[in-house]
A and B are shown apart, each in its own frame.
Chain A
Amino acid sequence: MEAKLLKKQRPKHLNLFKISQPLPAIVSIMHRISGVLLFFPGIPLLLYGLQMLLESTDSFEALHAFIQNPLVKGLILMFVWFGLHHLCAGIRYLALDLHYGIALTHARASSKWVLAVSVTLTLAVGISLW
Chain B
Amino acid sequence: MVKRNDRIVTGAHYGIKDWLVQRVTAVLMTAYIILFAVVVWISSPLDQAKWVAIFGHQWMRIASFLFLVSLMWHAWVGVRNVLMDYIKPVSVRLTLQILVIVSLLVYLVWAVEILWS
Residues of A within 8 A of B (CB): 32, 35-36, 38-40, 43-44, 47, 50-51, 53-57, 60-61, 87, 90-91, 94, 97
A47 vs B27: C-alpha distance when bound (angstroms): 21
Q: Mark B38-76, 1 if CB is under 8 A from A, else 0.
A: 000000000110011001000000000000000110010
Asked whether any CB of chain A lies closer than 8 Å to the CB of B2, the reply is no
Q: Which residue of A lies closest to B82 (CB)?
A: A36
Interface membership of B23, Cβ < 8 A: yes
Min Cβ gap B49→A in Å is 8
Of chain B, the residue at the smallest CB distance from A84 is B33
What is the chain A residue whose CB lies nearest that of B51? Answer: A53
CB-based A-B contact count at 8 angstroms: 51
B interface, by DSSP: helix, strand, loop or mixed?
A: helix
Check if A53 sits within 8 Å of B48, measured CB to CB. Answer: yes
Chain A residues lying within 8 Å of B114, measured Cβ to Cβ, are 47, 50-51, 54-55
- Closest residue on chain B to residue A36 by CB atoms: B82
In the complex, A40 Cα to B83 Cα: how many Å?
14
Given A36, A50, A94, which contacts B26 in the complex, CB threshold below 8 Å?
A: A94
